[in-house]
Chains A and B, each alone.
Chain A
Amino acid sequence: MVCRSNEFMKRSAFLNLLLIGLFVAAGGVGCKKTKKPVTPLVSMGSRVPGSGAERRGPITPPTVPEGANVGGTEPTVATPLTDPSTGFTPQADLETIEGMIPDTAHFAGQTIYFEFDSSVVRTSQYSQCNAVGDDLKTKPEAKLMIDGHCDERGTEEYNRALGERRALATREWLIRYGIAPERIFTRSFGEDRPADPGHTEAAWAANRRAEFILLLPPK
C-alpha cells in the first residue's frame, strides 16, 4: 500500500514536472529544450555518414600506425541511456570525476529531507532541487555528487541501500529537470554520518536526507 502511494506520488510528481516544463516552454523563458549534444548511436546495419565509402574501400592493412585516426573524424561521446525495464539511468564512470574538487558548502542550504523508510522526493522539497538544478545549468563544467543518508532506525546494510535509493531518486528528479545524467553521481552513507547524533524524532528527521556536493574541475 505504501509502495503504491509512493508510486502514485512519483507519477504525479513527474506529471507536475511535465506540466511545469510545458508551461515554461510555452512562455518562452528559461528551461531550453535539452542542451545535450545529439549522440549518434551506431547500431547493426545503420549507416554512419562518412563511413560507408571506407567500408567498401580497400582492406585496411593489419598494422595501424600509432596515433592514426582510423575511420570517422568526430570523437565519440557515450551517453548513458535510461534502462526501459527499470526506468533508471546508469551513472557515468567514476573516472570522469577523478580529480574534481568537491565543494560541500555551495549547496549546504539545499539539503532535502525524506519520510521514514521512503526514498520519494516530496513536493515540499522541490524548491531546493530546483535551486540545485538551476545552478547546475549555469555551470556546465561542474558536476554533482548526491550523498544519501538515513536515520538509525533500520538495519545497517538496509539503510545503506535505502540511502542510495534516496540519492538515486534525487538524481532521477534532476535528470527529469534537464540535467545530463552523466553529470550526476550518487553515494550512500547509510546511517554512518548523522547530521544530528541524537536519538529523538527530531534528530531522525534531520538525518533522513540527501546532500548536494558541487564538483568543480581542477584549476
Chain B
Amino acid sequence: MSRSIYSLGFALVLFGCCAGVGTRAGETERIRISAEAWSTTPPIPIAMSGYSGEVDRVLRFDLEIAGFKFVGESDPSCQYVLKGGNSGQVEGRLTDALKRATLFAKAYSGGSVRGQAHALADDVVLAVTGKPGIARTKIAFKVTHGQTSEIYVADYDGYGAVPATQDKSIATAPTWRPGHRTLVYTTYKLNNPDIVSHDLDTQERRVVARYSGSNISPAVSPDGRRVAMVLSKAGSPDVYVANIDGTGLKQLTRTREDESSPCWSPDGRMICFATRIDGRRTLAQVPSDGGAIQRIATSGVVNPTEPDWSPDGRYIAFTAQMGAFEICLVKAGGGEAKLLTTGEDPCWAPNSRTLIFTKRGSGGKRFLSLLDVPTKQSKDVLQNIGISSQPSWAR
C-alpha cells in the first residue's frame, strides 16, 4: 500500500516536471532523468496516540527521520494509525485505515524504554515500507576536546554515547568493519598517524598500517576483509589497499596529487576517492585490485570530497566545497550532482536512504545531523558530549 503512495507521489512529480519543461526540448531529457533520482517524496501521513514522555519523543524522532509526518486521525490523508501506550511496557497497534486492517499489534519488553520505542518504530517502518528500519543502528564518530579527540559509539540518534578510545591523543576518521563490532580508525597515540583496527568486545587493537608518513582515511571493504586507505610513505598521499590485518599491501594510485577519503562500491570491486585531475578537484574511482583511474563527474558543483557509496550501489553522497560545505548526491556512474543540504562528511545508513553528516555552528562548533533523502526531513543528533564530527554508520 505504501508503495502505491510512493509511486503516486512519484508520478505526480514526474508529470509536473515533464509538463513544466515541455517547451524546452533540450532540457527535457535531463530533467526527466533527474526527476526520478532527485524528486522530493512526500512524507507518509500517520496518526499516533497513547504515548507519553520519552517514548513519545523517540517514536516521533524515529518516524519523522524515516519519512513519516504526524497528522490527526481524522485527517483525510491519514492512512496509518499507531495506537498504544507506555504505562509499563511499550505497546503498539498499527492499522491501515484504507484497508481497515491491523498490520501488527505488539508489546515490547526487555532492554531500555528507549530501546523498546526504537523497536516499535522499526516495526512500523517495516510494516509500511517493507524495508528494515534504522532506529536500532549504531554510529561511531569523532569527539574533539581542545587539542585531543576520541572515538565514540552511540545509538544513531546520539543517545547512549560511550567512548571507544580514551587515549588523550588524536583519534580520527572512524569507520566500521561491516558485519563486525570492530572499528578501524587513525590514531596518533604512537606519535604517528597510524591505522588500527579495534575490536569493541575484546578492546584489542591491532595495527593495520604504521608506515612512515601519514596513514589516514581508512575504509573497510563490504566483505570486511580489506582496508582501503591513504598512505604517504612513497612521497605523496596515494590510495592503497591491504588485508584487514595489514598484510598484502598494494598501491592503487600513483599521482602527484593528494588523494583522500576512499570508500568502497558495495560489490567491493571499485574504490571511489577524492583527488585532482588536470588541476581540478574531482571524484574518481579505481578498481580495488588495481587498474586505471576513472573520473566520476559531479556536474554543477565544485571541489567534491568525502564520497560515500550507498549500500544499494545507486548513489554516491559527497561534500562539495562552494563557499559553504554542501551535502550532494550523484549517481554512481557520475553525472549531474544534486545539492541536498548544507553540511559535510555524509555517511549512508544501511537503508540507503538516510544520511548522517556533520554540521558547523558558530565558533567552530560541530555536531551531527540526520537527513531522510527522499523526504528531505532532517533532525539533529543529540549534542551533549562536545564537538562531534566524522560520523560512520554501522552497516
Question: What residues of chain A have their CB less than 8 Å away from a CB belonging to chain B?
Answer: 1-4, 82-83, 85-94, 102, 119, 152, 154-158, 160-165, 168, 171-172, 185-190, 192-193, 197, 199
- The stretch of B4-12, B32-40, B63-71, B258-266 in contact with A is B258-266
A93 → B minimal CB distance (Å):
6
Expressed in whole angstroms, the Cα–Cα distance for A162 and B321 within the complex equals: 15
* Contact status B233-A90, CB under 8 Å: yes
Expressed in whole angstroms, the Cα–Cα distance for A157 and B383 within the complex equals: 22
Using a CB-CB cutoff of 8 Å, which residues 292-319 of chain B contact chain A? 305-306, 319
* Contact status A192-B170, CB under 8 Å: yes
Q: A1-B279, A4-B279, A152-B364 are in contact. Are A157 and B232 (CB under 8 A)?
A: no
Expressed in whole angstroms, the Cα–Cα distance for A188 and B170 within the complex equals: 11
Q: For B259, list chain A residues within 8 Å (CB).
A: 161
Q: For B149, list chain A residues within 8 Å (CB).
A: 192
B390 within 8 A of partner (CB):
yes
B170 → A minimal CB distance (Å):
5
* Contact status A161-B256, CB under 8 Å: no
A40 → B minimal CB distance (Å):
23
Using a CB-CB cutoff of 8 Å, which residues 272-306 of chain B contact chain A? 274, 276, 278-280, 305-306
* Contact status A91-B233, CB under 8 Å: yes
CB nearest to B262 among chain A residues = A157
Expressed in whole angstroms, the Cα–Cα distance for A83 and B188 within the complex equals: 28
B389 within 8 A of partner (CB):
yes
Q: A155-B344, A168-B235, A186-B232 are in contact. Are A160 and B212 (CB under 8 A)?
A: no
* Contact status A164-B345, CB under 8 Å: no
Among B193, B235, B278, contact of A86 (Cβ-Cβ < 8 Å): B235
Given contacts A85-B254, A197-B364, 18 further A-B contacts (CB under 8 A): A3-B278, A3-B279, A83-B235, A88-B256, A91-B213, A91-B235, A152-B364, A155-B319, A156-B345, A157-B306, A160-B172, A160-B173, A160-B216, A185-B213, A189-B193, A192-B144, A193-B147, A199-B364
Among B212, B236, B321, contact of A154 (Cβ-Cβ < 8 Å): B321
Expressed in whole angstroms, the Cα–Cα distance for A87 and B210 within the complex equals: 23
Expressed in whole angstroms, the Cα–Cα distance for A4 and B256 within the complex equals: 13
Q: A92-B212, A156-B390 are in contact. Are A188 and B193 (CB under 8 A)?
A: yes
Among A4, A87, A155, A187, contact of B305 (Cβ-Cβ < 8 Å): A155
Expressed in whole angstroms, the Cα–Cα distance for A197 and B147 within the complex equals: 10
Q: For B375, list chain A residues within 8 Å (CB).
A: none
Q: For B210, list chain A residues within 8 Å (CB).
A: 94
Using a CB-CB cutoff of 8 Å, which residues 200-222 of chain B contact chain A? 210-214, 216-217
Among A92, A119, A188, contact of B216 (Cβ-Cβ < 8 Å): A188
* Contact status A88-B234, CB under 8 Å: yes
* Contact status A161-B258, CB under 8 Å: yes
Expressed in whole angstroms, the Cα–Cα distance for A190 and B217 within the complex equals: 12
CB nearest to B325 among chain A residues = A155
CB nearest to A166 among chain B residues = B258
Q: For A199, list chain B residues within 8 Å (CB).
A: 363-364
* Contact status A165-B236, CB under 8 Å: yes
CB nearest to B275 among chain A residues = A161
B274 → A minimal CB distance (Å):
6
10 CB-based A-B contacts, threshold 8 Å: A2-B279, A83-B234, A86-B255, A91-B232, A94-B212, A161-B216, A162-B258, A185-B212, A187-B192, A189-B193
Q: A83-B234, A89-B235, A164-B232 are in contact. Are A157 and B173 (CB under 8 A)?
A: yes
Greatest chain A CB density within 10 A among B147, B212, B363 is at B212
Among A102, A155, A160, A188, contact of B321 (Cβ-Cβ < 8 Å): A155
A27 → B minimal CB distance (Å):
32
B321 → A minimal CB distance (Å):
7
* Contact status A93-B212, CB under 8 Å: yes
9 closest cross-chain pairs (CB), A and B: A88-B235, A3-B279, A91-B212, A161-B260, A161-B258, A158-B305, A165-B258, A188-B214, A164-B214
Greatest chain A CB density within 10 A among B235, B278, B344 is at B235
Among A83, A89, A119, contact of B258 (Cβ-Cβ < 8 Å): A119
Q: For B214, list chain A residues within 8 Å (CB).
A: 160-161, 163-164, 186-188
B230 within 8 A of partner (CB):
yes
Expressed in whole angstroms, the Cα–Cα distance for A1 and B306 within the complex equals: 23
Using a CB-CB cutoff of 8 Å, which residues 231-268 of chain B contact chain A? 232-237, 254-256, 258-261
